[in-house]
Amino acid sequence: MIKSLLIANRGEIACRVIKTAKRMGIRTIAVYSEADAGAKHVRLADEAHLLGPAAAADSYLRSGRILAIAKEAGAEAIHPGYGFLSENADFAQLTQDAGMIFVGPPPESIRAMGLKDRSKEIMAEAGVPIVPGFHGQNQDPTFLKRKAYEIGYPLLIKAVAGGGGKGMRKVSKALEFDDALEAAKREAKSSFNNDNVLLEKFVQNPRHIEIQVFGDSHGNVVHLFERDCSLQRRHQKVIEEAPAPGMTDAVRAAMGKAACDAAKAVGYQGAGTVEFIADGEGGLSEDGFFFMEMNTRLQVEHPVTEMITGQDLVEWQLRVASGEELPTKQEELSINGHAFEARIYAEDASTGFLPSIGRLIAMDLGQEGNGVRIDSGVDTGDEITPYYDPMIAKLIVHGGSRREALALITKQLQDAKIAGPVTNTAFLAALCGHKGFVQGHFNTGLIDENLSKLVPEAAVDQGVLAAGVVGLIENEQKQLAAKSQNDNSPWTATDGFQTGSARTVPFNFLLDGEEQVAQVVYTSDGLSLLMDTGKIVAPDSKCSYFHDGERVFVLKNGHQWIFEPRVFELQDEAAASSDGAIKVPMHGKVITVTVASGDSVEEGDILFSVEAMKMEHSVVAPYDGTVAQLAITAGEQVENGAVALILSKNPTVDA
C-alpha cells in the first residue's frame, strides 16, 4: 500500500483525498499557490509546499515544480484530483518516469480518450454506440459547414480536446453556423491550445447520463451504476443524482456493459466515467443512448455514487494504484436509496451568474450526518479569489427514496447560511422545487428554458430591513459601550431610553450602496422599526444577520443584502461614475476588445469580453454612441468595477 501521497490539486478535491488518505494511514503532502497559503487543504495535510504565484499557470499547472516537490518530500505517489493536470498524459508519464505512482489510468489510456474525435473512433470499433456526426481531421470551415448540412440541424459543435462545455456551441440553423464555429474554435484554442472541433447531431430531449467505471491492473473492470447529470447551465453540471430517474434494469445493464466495454477497449485502470447522451423522448431505452466522451479521472459528482453504493472511490483509487485487485466484484455491488449533489458556487444568479469573490463572513451548511454530507475546500474566514473555480462546497444528501432525498437537499439549501460572496443557493433551492425536476421529467434544457422562473427576485421586505437596521444599531451600541464602559451616566446609555412615551428617531444607512432612512422606535421592550404604513415591525425570524466590522450581512431564503452606516462627513462627491462610463463586470482577463477609440456603436453591439473562473462574459453597448476613451486591452487582468471605456451617448434628434 502507498505510504505517502502528494495531492497535485487544491480546494475541495484536495481536502476530499486527504480525508481518505489519512483514514488509511497515508502521509499527505499538499501543494499550494501564494493565494492559497492559508487554504483549508494546506491546513489539513501533514505537510505543504509552495508552488508559486496565484495564477494556475504559475502554480498548479507547473508539472516540473510539482514533481520536484514530490521527490523532495519523499512522496511515493501523486493524486491529481480533477481539473488541472488530472487528464494530462504527459504529466502521468513523467510521474511514472520519476519512479512514482500516478493515481490514475495509464498515460496511453488518457491519450486515447483525451481527444473526442479519436475516442469516438475507438468506441465505434469496440461496438459502443456513438452519436451520428463528423469526427474527422478536415477543419476547413466550408467543408465543416457542408458536413453540418449533411448531418442536419440542430447540431453541436464541440472542441475535440478538454471538457466542461468549453468550445461547445449548439447550432439551430445554417445561418448561425459560421459565427458559432468561430466562437467555438476561439474558446477551444484559449482553453486547450487546440481549436479542432467535431460535429454531432443534437439529440432531442437529451438526458446526460454517465456510468462510473473502475479497472485494475489485473484485467478486472466493473461499473458502479449511473448518475444523471442532466441539470446543466451552459453545459456545466449544476445538480447530479443517482440513480437516474426512469432507469430500468434492462437499460442500466445495457449502459453498464457499454461503459465496461469502453474501459476495456483502452486497457483502463483506476476511476473513470463514461458519459452518454440519452434520448429521453418516450423514456429511456436500450437503443436510445450514445457515447459522448470518457473522463479519465475522478469526477466532481462521485459522492452520489459513494452514497448509493457505500463505497469510498478514493480508497479504491489508492488500492488499485498500489497494485491491488478491485475491492468488490460486479455482482457484489448494489444500489441503496437515492442521492443528490448540489454544487454551491460563489456566483450571482441575478447578474447572469457572474462570479462573486471575497471573504466568507459566515458559512453554515448544517451538520453532517443523518444523510447529509458536505465536501468543501473553504471555511468561515477563507477567501474566494478570482484565480480559481468559485466552488464553495458540494452539498450531498442520501435518502431512502428520491422523494425523501429531494426533500432533504431542498431543506438544507433553504437553511444554508453563507455570507460574504453572493451564492447560488436560492437558485439551487428553486431548481429543486421545479415541477418537472420533482416529477423526474426533465432534460439538459430545463434550466435554460426556465431560467427566469428559477432566479427568484430578491425582494427587500420589512423583516429584512428590520434585521439590517437592528444589526447596525447593535454595532453602534457596542462602539458607544466600549467608549463609556466605565461610565454609569444615563447620558451615555445606549438603550434609547427617554422619560415619557416611546422615542422615535431617524436612522440613516446604506442598503447595497443605496441611501435609506428608517424610523427606529425605542420602547421599554427594546427597539423596532416604524414603517411608512405606520406599522411597527421587528426582524424576521427567517432572517439571519452577521457582523463584519461596521457592515451587516442579512440573509433570507438564499439572498443577501449588505447594510452599512451612513457617514455624512465622508460623502464622496466622485462616487457617481462619469457619464458614459462602461465598467468591467467582474475580476478577470480581457479576452477580446471589439472597439477602438472613436468607433461608433449601436445598442447591443459587443464592446469587450472578460473571462474569469471558467466563464466568458461579453459586455454590450447600452445605447447608441461613440467610444470617447478606451482604457483596456486584450490579454490584461482587470478588476471588478474598473472603467473599461467611456461611451458618449448620441444626441437625441427631435422629430
Whether 343 is catalytic is: no
Give the domain range for residue 55.
Answer: 4-103
The residue ranking higher by pLDDT, 635 or 91, is 91
Backbone angles phi, psi at 394, to 5 degrees: -110, 120
Backbone angles phi, psi at 613, to 5 degrees: 50, 50
Cα–Cα distance, 562 to 536 (Å, whole number): 22
Whether the pLDDT of residue 98 is over 80: the answer is yes
Q: Looking at residue 588, what is its pLDDT?
A: 82
Of 83, 103, 123, the one marking the end of a domain is 103
Domain total in the chain: 5
Beta-bridge mates of residue 616: 611
116 vs 643, residue with greater confidence: 643
Q: Are residues 564 and 590 in the same domain?
A: no
Write down the pLDDT at residue 655: 42
Cα–Cα distance between 637 and 584 in angstroms, integer? 11
Residue 613 belongs to domain with CATH number? 2.40.50.100
The answer to whether position 122 is within a domain reads no
CATH number at residue 330: 3.30.470.20
In sequence order, which residues have a C-beta less than 8 Å from that of residue 146 and are 6 or more positions away?
none
pLDDT tens figures, 263-303: 999 999 999 999 999 988 889 999 999 998 999 999 999 99
**Residue 167, Cα to own-chain centre: how many angstroms?**
18
CB 5 within 8 A of CB 103: yes
Residue 175 burial (CB < 10 Å; 0-12/13-18/19+)?
Answer: exposed
pLDDT in the model for residue 345: 97
pLDDT of 483: 62
Q: How far is CA 9 from CA 78, 192, 438, in A?
A: 10, 19, 35
Given this model, what pLDDT does residue 566 score? 82
- Taking only the tens place, the pLDDT of each residue in 525-584 is 777 888 776 777 888 889 999 999 999 999 999 999 999 998 654 333 333 344 689 988
Query: Do 256 and 315 belong to one domain?
Result: yes
Reported confidence tier of residue 614, pLDDT bands at 50, 70, 90: low
| Closest to 26 measured CA to CA, from 47, 50, 54 | 47
CATH classification of the domain holding 163: 3.30.1490.20
Burial 445-484 (b: 16+ CB within 10 A, else e): ebbeebeeebbeebebebbbbbbbbbbbbebeeeeeeeee
Higher pLDDT, 503 or 265: 265
Mark whether 327 and 446 lie in a shared domain.
yes
Question: Which of 264, 263, 292, 265 minimizes the C-alpha distance to 277?
Answer: 292
> Do 435 and 484 share a domain, yes or no?
no
Residue 542 makes CB contacts below 8 A (sequence gap 6+) with 463, 556, 557
What pTM was computed for the model? 0.83
Domain boundary residue, one of 454, 473, 506: 454
Name 257's Cβ contacts closer than 8 Å, sequence gap at least 6: none
Instruction: Give the three-state DSSP class for 459.
Output: coil
- For residue 611, the model assigns a pLDDT of 81
Tell me the CATH number at 496.
Answer: 3.30.700
Same domain? For 138 and 39 the reply is no
Reported residue count of the chain is: 655
- Say if residue 500 is in the same domain as residue 556: yes
Same domain membership, residue 292 and residue 423:
yes
Question: In this structure, what CATH number is given to the domain that contains residue 17?
Answer: 3.40.50.20
**pLDDT at position 213, please?**
98
356 located within any domain: yes
pLDDT, one tens digit per residue, over 465-499 is 999 999 999 998 887 776 666 656 655 555 555 55
Rounded Cα gap, residues 632 and 582, in angstroms:
11
Instruction: Single out the catalytic residue among 111, 233, 297, 343.
Output: 297
